Structure 1
Amino acid sequence: MARESKPPLHHSIEADLRRKIASGEMGVGQMLPGRRDLAKHYGVSTLTVERAVDSLVRDRLLRSDDRRGTFVSAVSSQVPLKPRPTGEFAIGVVARLYMPHQDRGYGNNTWIREIVQAVEHEFSSEKHVTIFTNTVLPDGRVRPLREAVQAALESKIDGLLIVAIDSSPEEMLEVQELLALQDVQSVFVGSTELPRKAVQTFPDGFDAGYQAVGHLLRQGCEEIAYVSPFDAWWADQRGAGIAAAWEGSARPPERLRMLPLGEKRQWTVHPDAGRVGEETAEEVASIIGPRCGIIGANDEISLGLIRAMAEMGKAVGRDYLIIGFDDILPARDRHLTSLRPPWDALGREGARLLRSALAGTNESLLVRLRWRLIPRSSSRWTS
């Protein structure tokens, strides 16, 4: 879906003030109206006016006397009509990054660092400056995402990229409400589509589930079991993709099993999903037939299933195939086929969207990215 994107309001105000100085409408030595008066005149916030004025002060077209006010300081015939090059921007990046000793082993740093580094690489030019705001405080406490975004806005940035792959929909909505009152181009890098329209990019969980089924069918699996013990939006998205792929294959509906059959557990941020996978294994083993492909809702669940089913005498590649999601480090060591989120590509795409928004040429509102299937021996029959 395309959306017409306009340059930030403070650039328009800056250009108008610059024009007035160049035309002589505002003469040398003339005092600029107060920030509140200018904000009322242009119909914007005082922060937006402040950013426009600061740019003209940096260009020495205005001089600021803290006690008396702000005055025109340039000779009108020497004032360029154009503002500073639009390619020069202060880019704010908000994300949750723990210090090494604080990381809780959830993969947070690995995933988010990939995104942040990709963004920084895309803006690695002397024309730009990136300003990082961490939601993790020096003492290890995590402040609300909205609070971190507010801190970033106070840095007088031109554009803002918010990395929120581990934020709840409620947190995202709070940030969207805050940004609706600001004159800052913003892009969200998340895990799913936001509840309100915004420039955003995220990995497509539905498509990831669809890919998983396609891979197992190509390996000769005759039935699929999706093991999702948790009540979580991300698990439901993957499950919806799995169901759609199975329906599209025209195979018997009863050959797709959604497990466990009982009540699901509430998802928390750092559960022991591997242990839960182990606890689900007995039910899974009692239901599945030969040539079955198992899809765990994430890698930890799949690895837990493998451990527990091995104790029952069932071997991967002989009795069943199995896939997970996220491609955590143990997946590689234990030869688990997994779907990897394109974290680096998300960072690059987020930077591209923000650059286009700042230039007023953004043609994309929402960009879904495809997960990458990493095939390993857990999805290959041994005979």
Structure 2
Amino acid sequence: MQRVPNDKDDVAAVAGKSEPAYRRIERDLRQRLRKGEWNVGAVLPSRQMLARGYSVDLSTVQKAVATMLSDGTLRADNGRGTYVARDPFTADESGFGEEDAVDTSPSDTLSLDGDMLTGVPSTQIGTVGIFCWFQNQNDFWPRTLIHSVERLMASVGVTTLFVNRCVLGNDLIPEIISPYEGGKRLREAGAESMIYVAVREDPNDDEIAELVAGFCGEYGDPSRVVAITSGMINLPVAHVFYDQNYAGFRAARLLIESGIRSNILFVAPFNTPWVRGRWEGAMQAVRLAGLPLDALKLCPPVTELGVLPPRDPGQSETEVSAAQSVELYLATGTEEPLGVIGANDTIARAFAVAYGEATGRNPGTDYALIGFDDEPASRDFGLTTLRPPLEEMAREAVQLLLRSVRGDGVSQQIRLRSYLVPRRSTRTDAALHAAQLSNRFIRTPVPVKEGH
């Protein structure tokens, strides 16, 4: 069943804080912008409607909106209403002319819902296990998720216990333990519940079933296991995942909203479930915009994803295959792309390098470029990207587990959307002036969160 919170619910968790109501409403509006509820150019509900939604006086909403008008996030047009003038990540910048968006990570304000801070008997859940493939200690995805889970559990007095799926032996050779063995080790070490972090690999029902069997034993309770994954799983195990389809939709939508309505490339040297999800989402954006299907093409120039290698290689192989894709594309003698979507950040950056060497054309100047995953190197590169909601995934997983232990009815699946992080690679002339075109944008509502 889809969870659709109203405006009043959105600020309920902070209602008890000694803070002016207009400040709480301003913060909530900014958070809703970051989640993509209103895109750049979208018209907000009237002040009267917002006041009714938040159950406050009109003057309180006027104060909340005034600050956002003053920093350029919103713009008022007497003939049109109040609309989103700048992306919320860009609006957080100290100056409008900054080239790159600051990483406005939500982790600094990471907290649980207000109802989670009471009624969670620590004796029922003294220790929570965390199981994750964490071979590269610099990989910010698992690191962020693990740290977030640990911080949130500590906030309610729960101890955490970590088991790494990749264990270094005495000879420093990595040993990969099975999910069953990992679950068993956590159980034997005293973990009463566990969270499985599996965002770097495609969802694998068999492995998750193995993990549950190892942790729960013959008569165990799978309700004490929550998974954080890169896609939906088909098991009666509670899990939180981010929507690959929506990420692809949002990437293509950004280009379309910028006035790029043809000659868009989707660069994908290989075919995996997460690549397919992003491709299908991008195609949905093309269809919803009423554009011909050939407005979005694959690079390398193939008829469909299924003919590409069905694997996800390492980074160096990915860069090589992306460069080869550029060579194949140029060999066809087709038109120069106006917009390019890389299946991930590594592919997008590799495309830009190879395409620039071959043609002298650069992203952000000659064409718009966008990737996915917000890898650290993308910030220096100036690559616009879709950032996975890592902190929120950890938060939702912790709340699922705590509510389950408390005996509450909980959703089995929670789907979250990625954040758009705009940087200079999409700041072409079309993109820079798109927000000034009246009646240009159509808001396409996509659920932020779904529970089943």
With structure 1 as the length reference, what TM-score do the two structures score? 0.71
The residue that corresponds to 2:342 in the other structure is 296
The residue that corresponds to 2:128 in the other structure is 91
Q: 2:183, 2:212 within 8 Å by CA — same for their partners in 1?
A: no
Cα distance 1:152–1:180, how it changes in 2: closer, same or farther (>3 A)? closer
Whole-angstrom distance in 2 between the partners of 1:207 and 1:345: 16
Q: How many angstroms does 1:243 deviate by?
A: 1.1
The residue that corresponds to 1:136 in the other structure is 166
Q: Does 1:254 align with 2:294?
A: yes
Whole-angstrom distance in 1 between the partners of 2:212 and 2:231: 15
Gaps of 5+ in 1: 3-83
Cα distance 1:176–1:359, how it changes in 2: closer, same or farther (>3 A)? same
Whole-angstrom distance in 2 between the partners of 1:289 and 1:320: 12
Give 1:195's match in structure 2, choosing from 234, 237, 253: 234
Q: Does 1:183 align with 2:217?
A: no
Whole-angstrom distance in 2 between the partners of 1:287 and 1:358: 60
Partner SS state of residue 327, structure 1? coil
Partner SS state of residue 240, structure 2? strand
The residue that corresponds to 1:273 in the other structure is 318
The residue that corresponds to 1:283 in the other structure is 328
Residue by residue over 1:30-72, the C-alpha shift from the partner in whole angstroms, topping out at 9 and shown as x without a partner, is xxxxxxxxxxxxxxxxxxxxxxxxxxxxxxxxxxxxxxxxxxx
Cα distance 1:85–1:314, how it changes in 2: closer, same or farther (>3 A)? closer
Partner SS state of residue 166, structure 2? coil
Q: 2:355, 2:361 within 8 Å by CA — same for their partners in 1?
A: yes
Q: 1:290, 1:319 within 8 Å by CA — same for their partners in 2?
A: no
The residue that corresponds to 1:21 in the other structure is none
Larger displacement relative to structure 2 (328-337 or 162-171): 162-171
Partner SS state of residue 316, structure 1? coil
1:183 aligned partner, one-letter code: D
The residue that corresponds to 2:260 in the other structure is 221
Q: 1:88, 1:127 within 8 Å by CA — same for their partners in 2?
A: no
Q: Does 1:115 align with 2:153?
A: no
The residue that corresponds to 2:418 in the other structure is 371
Q: 2:130, 2:194 within 8 Å by CA — same for their partners in 1?
A: yes
The 5 Å alignment of 1:1-383 reads: 1=1, 88-98=125-135, 103=136, 109-125=139-155, 127-139=157-169, 140-168=174-202, 169=204, 170-176=206-212, 178=214, 179=216, 181=218, 182-183=220-221, 185-223=224-262, 224-262=264-302, 263-271=307-315, 272-285=317-330, 286=332, 289=335, 292-311=338-357, 312-382=359-429
Q: How many angstroms does 1:365 deviate by?
A: 1.1
Please say which structure displays the higher CA radius of gyration: 1
Q: How many angstroms does 1:186 deviate by?
A: 0.8
Cα distance 1:246–1:287, how it changes in 2: closer, same or farther (>3 A)? farther
Q: 1:299, 1:327 within 8 Å by CA — same for their partners in 2?
A: yes
Whole-angstrom distance in 2 between the partners of 1:370 and 1:288: 34
Whole-angstrom distance in 1 between the partners of 2:227 and 2:248: 23
Partner SS state of residue 183, structure 2? helix
Residue by residue over 1:243-297, the C-alpha shift from the partner in whole angstroms, topping out at 9 and shown as x without a partner, is 1111111111221212323441232452421221111113334565456211111
With structure 2 as the length reference, what TM-score do the two structures score? 0.61
Gaps of 5+ in 2: 3-120, 431-452
Q: How many angstroms does 1:332 deviate by?
A: 0.8
Tell me the percent identity.
27
Q: 1:353, 1:362 within 8 Å by CA — same for their partners in 2?
A: no
Partner SS state of residue 166, structure 1? coil
Q: 1:222, 1:291 within 8 Å by CA — same for their partners in 2?
A: no
Q: 1:210, 1:241 within 8 Å by CA — same for their partners in 2?
A: yes
Q: 1:95, 1:112 within 8 Å by CA — same for their partners in 2?
A: yes
Whole-angstrom distance in 1 between the partners of 2:230 and 2:245: 11
Whole-angstrom distance in 2 between the partners of 1:269 and 1:255: 28
Partner SS state of residue 130, structure 2? strand
Cα distance 1:159–1:335, how it changes in 2: closer, same or farther (>3 A)? same
Cα distance 1:333–1:197, how it changes in 2: closer, same or farther (>3 A)? same
Residue by residue over 1:225-256, the C-alpha shift from the partner in whole angstroms, topping out at 9 and shown as x without a partner, is 21111121110111111111111111112212
Q: How many angstroms does 1:180 deviate by?
A: 7.9
Partner SS state of residue 319, structure 1? coil
The residue that corresponds to 2:104 in the other structure is none
Q: How many angstroms does 1:317 deviate by?
A: 2.8
Q: 1:122, 1:351 within 8 Å by CA — same for their partners in 2?
A: yes
Q: Which runs of 4+ in 1 moved over 6 A?
A: none
The residue that corresponds to 1:8 in the other structure is none
